[in-house]
Amino acid sequence: MLRTRLFGLAVTAVVAVVGISPVTALAAATDTQTLEMSEKDKDHKGNRALFEEKMNNAIKKWNTLTTNQKKDVYALLENEIKAHNKTLDKLVELGVIAKEDASLMKQERMDRFTKLRESGEFPLLKPKGNKRNK
């Protein structure tokens, strides 16, 4: 019976220690209060406007880059695509996805990249789809 009580006490102590996260401990040590924000308190329109302003500034800066600077960025993006393709190949090898699906994903990604490179557009923007209409 004593072993059972000691075991219960040990489990309770472990749970108590694990339950104190570093954030909680830091907040308690510094006497700071946590701030909770509900969805209705967030200013989504303001954040969206700020984001769009930042993206427009980035596009303007992108358009001032030289052709060689843009080629450097596109080369990095192409390396990213090659790494993604290696991941897809590994997933095919492990039997996680079908070879045909991986080939389709590779081809679609390469097509998007080719169109992006040909158009000279800012590479970080992605199509928004129907979200804009909502």
117-121 long-range contacts (CB < 8 A, ≥24 apart) are 117/74, 120/70
Q: For the chain, what are the domain ranges?
A: 66-118
Q: Residue 60 has what pLDDT?
A: 92
The 10s digit of each residue's pLDDT in 74-92 is 999 999 999 999 999 999 9
Query: Does this model's pTM top 0.85?
Result: no
φ, ψ dihedrals at 31, nearest 5°: 55, 35
Neighbour-count burial for 45-57, b at 16+ CB within 10 Å, e otherwise: eeeeeeeeeeeee
The 10s digit of each residue's pLDDT in 26-65 is 555 555 555 555 554 455 566 888 888 998 999 999 999 9
